[in-house]
Amino acid sequence: MSFGEEKKLEFGRKVHLAAELGLHPKQVAVWFQNRRARHKSKQVEAAYLKLKAVHDATVIEKCHLENEACT
């Protein structure tokens, strides 16, 4: 099971993964917490880039329309 399939762990799954990996359950929990934070950060960045592209296109279109209106 990958992070993409299971973003939050149930206690039993966390204990099972910890035993399987030779880690403490807290380490597994922290890994998932950090991974969720990185995932959210990447989603926010992607949304920002998309909005910036739309904004830039809108500004360019506005300039074209203003130039047409002046001529």
Per-residue confidence (pLDDT) for residue 9, from 0 to 100: 84
> Which tokens belong to 19?
């035993």
Instruction: Give CA–CA dist 30/51, Å, rounded.
Output: 32
| Per-residue confidence in pLDDT tens, the chain, 71 aa | 556 666 678 999 999 999 999 999 999 999 999 999 999 999 999 999 999 999 999 999 999 998 888 87
Question: Which pTM value belongs to this model?
Answer: 0.67
What single-letter amino acid sits at 16?
A: H
Segment holding 24, helix H or strand E: none
Instruction: Give CA–CA dist 71/67, Å, rounded.
Output: 6
Instruction: Give CA–CA dist 27/31, Å, rounded.
Output: 6
Instruction: Give CA–CA dist 8/58, Å, rounded.
Output: 39
Domain boundaries of the chain, sorted by first residue:
11-70
**CATH 1.10.10 correct for 11-70:** yes
Per-residue confidence (pLDDT) for residue 68, from 0 to 100: 87
